[in-house]
Chains A and B, each alone.
Chain A
């Protein structure tokens, strides 16, 4: 009896994880299997699965060779991700460094920076739609500088989305970098001061290396979000005009639910998952390796 109990106790840690593991696994593995099954079929939204036809790799052939929207959507997705991550890193770090140099009011400012992040992205997209209209508040502010811009045009729709996403997510970078900056040990800075090092050198040789971990973390987290970003793009311009702001997420939704082609949409879904993994896994691997 005691033997049996001891044996069970050995599995105690795993038993505690089991419910979570099974739940998530079932809800990831089964949908992935379904998506794979659909991606090999011609399957139309609104028809029963029994009416679907097995077509082999035809949907993947379509994605890579026939779908003229795939490459532009992929480019838009990557452009979007790179701009979000790089822009967020520079602006976030810059603002955090500024905040770190003052004492009065910075707690208030850190609290206020939370607001944009907490807002419902779908509402942000929809309200900015009016802000970006020709007679909107954005044009009101930039008219004296550049004149009015037609934000809903092919040229400016993507920049408009980038600005809105930048607005919502840069505070995230600020919060992270500020938290990291305030927890840095002070001794190296005092030593650098005694040595008479310039502030640029202090930043380059002391601050930046100790922020490396944080930079990696926010790059990974923001890349994950940017690669799958949907809400703001959908509610702001819905991927349009034309396909000017169509990311892969939007392309999937349009193919599957507007075009009713669930098979092709599934093939695109798998491609998006693979692209996400191909970008994020190496980042994570590099991150865990640099920790040890």
Chain B
């Protein structure tokens, strides 16, 4: 009986912990369906007739689809290019032995830790001098700096998990290393590739600092819309909550889709699950 009581206490404590970590998101979603007056009513409004006004206004008055299009035009090429550049390097680190291997590998992580704000002034200058300021291409080029190392770190682990013996036996059968890679190794690392792509996609989707200061009109992405709703006459909270709900939903779904590997991704492959 005593054990049971202990369990009840744990569940009650966990319930309140979960409440703390989930309530703000729940409240954000709820507020997205409120009228502006309801969003800042005190005491807070819990029961109300949901309105879609915020979403329709985002669509028609603020052309959210334009920002969505820009976001996708940045995130999808970033993801693909990061894989194209990063995967061969990851494969090399996983399969071959050469001098300075671990040092080179570590240097990619050290390059990854550079604060993006520190790079901002130089990137701003480069963007202007090569005519890429306020373009999607500039954001892609900038995002790759942080995402290529991420791909290398994650994919090395996934390639190492795939057995080299099968690949070698395919090579004995007459396949080139490239042929063996595509026939044997690639299918077995596809789940890892999927997880890595989603993580890169999420990182690029959520990126704010560079997107905010390297764009002005044409290449503005969803996160930079935060600057639109604070006007002289006040803050348009209805829009903000509507935007928050819409722009976080795809990422939350993607993150939950790879939930088993999410920890692996966040720790640069240091933890395997």
Which positions in A face B, CB cutoff 8 Å?
12-14, 16-17, 19-21, 23-25, 27-28, 30-32, 34-35, 38, 49, 95, 98-99, 101-102, 109-123, 125-131, 133, 135-137, 140, 167, 170-172, 175-176, 179-180, 183, 214, 217-218, 221, 224, 227-228, 230-231, 234-235, 249, 252-253, 256-257, 262, 265-266, 269-270, 272-273, 276-277, 280-281, 284, 288
15 contacts between A and B (CB under 8 A): A16-B92, A17-B93, A35-B122, A95-B17, A117-B266, A118-B254, A126-B226, A136-B42, A221-B268, A227-B115, A231-B208, A231-B209, A253-B117, A253-B120, A272-B117
B251 within 8 A of A: yes
Chain A min CB distance to B82 (Å) = 9
**A20 adjacent to B85 (CB under 8 Å):** yes
Binds A, one of B50-58, B185-193, B255-263: B255-263
- Which of A112, A119, A228 has a CB less than 8 Å from the CB of B115? A228
B104 within 8 A of A: yes
**A102 adjacent to B11 (CB under 8 Å):** yes
Known: A98-B10, A118-B252. 5 other contacts (CB 8 A): A14-B98, A20-B88, A24-B149, A126-B240, A272-B118
Chain A min CB distance to B162 (Å) = 16
**A20 adjacent to B152 (CB under 8 Å):** yes
Question: Known contacts being A19-B89, A20-B85, A140-B42, is A122 close to B141, with CB within 8 Å?
Answer: no
Contacts of A214 in B (CB 8 A): 271
- Which of A14, A27, A95 has a CB less than 8 Å from the CB of B145? A27
Chain A min CB distance to B258 (Å) = 9
- Which of A38, A167, A176, A221 has a CB less than 8 Å from the CB of B121? A38
- Which of B13, B111, B119, B252 has a CB less than 8 Å from the CB of A115? B252
Which residues of B in the span 105-159 have a Cβ within 8 Å of any Cβ on A?
106, 108-111, 113-123, 125-126, 141-142, 144-145, 148-149, 152
B172 within 8 A of A: no
Contacts of B96 in A (CB 8 A): 12-13
**A256 adjacent to B121 (CB under 8 Å):** yes
The digit string for B24-58, where 1 denotes a CB below 8 A from any CB of A, is 11011001000000011111100000000000000
Chain B min CB distance to A100 (Å) = 10
B18 within 8 A of A: yes
**B213 adjacent to A120 (CB under 8 Å):** no
- Which of A49, A127, A280 has a CB less than 8 Å from the CB of B113? A280
**A175 adjacent to B27 (CB under 8 Å):** no
B205 within 8 A of A: yes
Which residues of B in the span 5-21 have a Cβ within 8 Å of any Cβ on A?
7, 10-11, 13-14, 17-18, 20-21
B206 within 8 A of A: yes
**B114 adjacent to A28 (CB under 8 Å):** yes
B67 within 8 A of A: no
Question: Known contacts being A110-B259, A272-B117, is A17 close to B21, with CB within 8 Å?
Answer: no
Alpha-carbon separation in the docked complex, A167 to B22 (Å): 9
Contacts of A270 in B (CB 8 A): 118
Alpha-carbon separation in the docked complex, A276 to B206 (Å): 23
**A176 adjacent to B18 (CB under 8 Å):** no
Question: Known contacts being A16-B89, A24-B149, A122-B208, is A167 close to B20, with CB within 8 Å?
Answer: yes
Among B41, B110, B263, chain A packs the most CB atoms within 10 A around the CB of B263
**A122 adjacent to B223 (CB under 8 Å):** yes
Which residues of B in the span 227-273 have a Cβ within 8 Å of any Cβ on A?
235, 237, 240-241, 243-244, 247-248, 251-252, 254-256, 259, 262-263, 266-268, 270-271, 273
Chain B min CB distance to A128 (Å) = 7
B202 within 8 A of A: yes
**A119 adjacent to B117 (CB under 8 Å):** no
Contacts of B266 in A (CB 8 A): 117, 172, 175-176, 221
**B40 adjacent to A130 (CB under 8 Å):** yes
B91 within 8 A of A: yes
Contacts of A116 in B (CB 8 A): 21, 24-25
Alpha-carbon separation in the docked complex, A262 to B126 (Å): 14
**B262 adjacent to A175 (CB under 8 Å):** yes
**B89 adjacent to A119 (CB under 8 Å):** no
